[in-house]
């Protein structure tokens, strides 16, 4: 059963990925053992490409995660006649599945956000991303796909952000497809996210803003609205302060308190929502018309926010750190 190995190029710095396939033998058990060995070889090859030289011994943790004595970190996945191995100098997880596999039962437990994302990315990309994140955490799916949730999507560059509800740790997961025949393969590579200020400010920078008078059902583009009113304004939210991810009820309660706080300084307040470029992730907030930027920054600090948007009368949007 000769194996065919291929290095897969991915747009992830410091990550090596190797894919392999084998011809199926008559003996299913022999094929399974051979595929297991080929998965190990994929991981070793990826690790060698990353660091070169002599590698440590490949072993397995108590939970079945593959380990190389010393660095780098590795991960392996197998399905059908195919195997994949990934290596990085930080925790990494990889998963591989047939894209057309029937996952109807698992999709039923998707959140509404995940169902919306799946319409664009496909359900298998989400499931692979969850499995990869679980492997990066060293615990696998830990018995439930609902423990791992998609908290953000950047579909334009094939990235999902997966959050572990038990620990609140997050992983950036790059998803891709291998067209190797009649049944394309979905794969996902998970790396841990350190929610530094720089990362969060980058998310702020990419956000879009819409606004509307309280009680209105029609959202308006922020820049056009500010220009039409010829008035400055501060956009603030109490949603998801810093790297925290409170429950929906807690976020709503915080926003209600924020509104009351803003009303102490301003009597002209509209709703203002910030959302990701793909419109999947959205955070409610408010614009306080005419409020000085310094006052907005002080209030935002009270609610644990790292930054606010300040709109000048000509529509110029400034991201101001708190």
Task: For residues 158 and 106, state if they share a domain.
Answer: yes
Tell me how far apart the alpha carbons of residues 35 and 32 are, in angstroms, rounded to a whole number: 5
DSSP 3-state helix, strand, coil percentages of the chain (rounded to 5)? 30, 35, 35
pLDDT of 40 strictly over 80:
yes
Task: For residues 149 and 166, state if they share a domain.
Answer: yes
| CATH code, domain with 96 | 3.90.470.20
Task: For residues 158 and 216, state if they share a domain.
Answer: no
Task: For residues 14 and 120, state if they share a domain.
Answer: yes
Domain count, the chain: 2
Task: For residues 144 and 292, state if they share a domain.
Answer: no
For residue 72, cis peptide bond before it (omega within 30 degrees of 0): yes
Task: For residues 96 and 9, state if they share a domain.
Answer: yes
Lowest mean pLDDT among 2-11, 13-22, 57-66: 57-66
Sheet hosting strand 82-88, strand order edge to edge: 3-8, 15-22, 82-88, 73-79
Task: For residues 249 and 180, state if they share a domain.
Answer: no
Under DSSP, is residue 195 helix (H, G, I), strand (E, B) or coil? coil
Condensed to tens digits (0 to 9), the pLDDT of residues 84-118 reads 999 988 889 999 999 999 888 888 888 888 888 88
- pLDDT for residue 65: 72
- pLDDT for residue 26: 47
Tell me, yes or no, if the pTM score tops 0.85. Answer: no
Tell me how far apart the alpha carbons of residues 126 and 190 are, in angstroms, rounded to a whole number: 12
Under DSSP, is residue 148 helix (H, G, I), strand (E, B) or coil? strand
Report the share of the chain in percent with pLDDT over 70.
Answer: 86
Q: Work out the angle at residue 31's Cα, subtended by the Cα atoms of residues 25 and 34, and round it to the nearest 5 degrees.
A: 125
| Nearest residue to 98 (alpha-carbon basis) of 181, 5, 194, 4 | 181
Condensed to tens digits (0 to 9), the pLDDT of residues 250-282 reads 889 999 999 999 999 999 999 999 888 777 678
- pLDDT for residue 269: 96
Task: For residues 164 and 297, state if they share a domain.
Answer: no
Instruction: Select from 193, 227, 262 the last residue of a domain.
Output: 193
Instruction: Select from 193, 208, 240 the last residue of a domain.
Output: 193
Residue with tokens 């609140």: 168
- pLDDT for residue 30: 64
Residue numbers of the domain that contains 167: 3-193
Mean pLDDT, rounded, of the chain: 84
Task: For residues 67 and 166, state if they share a domain.
Answer: yes
Task: For residues 37 and 169, state if they share a domain.
Answer: yes
Instruction: Select from 144, 175, 193 the last residue of a domain.
Output: 193
Task: For residues 150 and 215, state if they share a domain.
Answer: no
Task: For residues 220 and 172, state if they share a domain.
Answer: no
């Amino acid at each position: 059963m000769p194996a065919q190995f291929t290095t897969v190029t991915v747009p992830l710095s410091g990550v090596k990925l190797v894919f392999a396939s084998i011809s199926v033998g008559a003996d299913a058990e022999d094929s399974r053992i051979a595929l297991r060995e080929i998965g190990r070889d994929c991981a070793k090859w990826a690790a060698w490409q990353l660091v070169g030289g002599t590698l440590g011994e490949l072993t397995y943790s108590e939970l079945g995660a593959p380990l190389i004595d010393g660095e780098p970190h590795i991960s392996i996945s197998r399905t059908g006649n195919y195997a994949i191995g990934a290596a990085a100098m930080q925790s990494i997880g990889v998963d591989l599945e047939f894209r057309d596999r029937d996952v109807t039962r698992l999709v039923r437990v998707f959140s509404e956000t995940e169902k919306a994302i799946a319409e664009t990315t496909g359900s298998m990309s989400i499931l692979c991303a969850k499995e990869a994140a679980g492997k990066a955490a060293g615990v696998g799916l830990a018995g439930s796909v609902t423990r791992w949730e998609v908290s953000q999507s950047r579909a334009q560059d094939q990235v999902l952000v997966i959050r572990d509800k038990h620990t609140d740790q997050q992983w950036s997961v790059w998803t891709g497809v291998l067209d190797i025949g009649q049944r394309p393969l979905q794969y996902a590579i998970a790396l841990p996210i350190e929610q530094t200020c720089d990362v969060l400010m980058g998310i702020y920078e990419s956000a879009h803003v819409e606004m509307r008078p309280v009680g209105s059902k029609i959202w308006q583009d922020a820049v056009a609205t500010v220009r039409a009113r010829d008035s400055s304004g501060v956009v603030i939210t109490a949603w998801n302060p810093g790297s925290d991810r409170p429950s929906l009820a807690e976020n709503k309660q915080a926003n209600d308190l924020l509104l009351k706080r803003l009303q102490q300084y301003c009597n002209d307040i509209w709703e203002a929502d910030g959302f990701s470029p793909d419109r999947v992730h959205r955070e409610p907030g408010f614009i306080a018309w005419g409020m000085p930027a310094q006052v907005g920054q002080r209030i935002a600090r009270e609610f644990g926010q790292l930054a606010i948007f300040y709109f000048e009368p000509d529509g110029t949007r400034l991201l101001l750190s708190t």
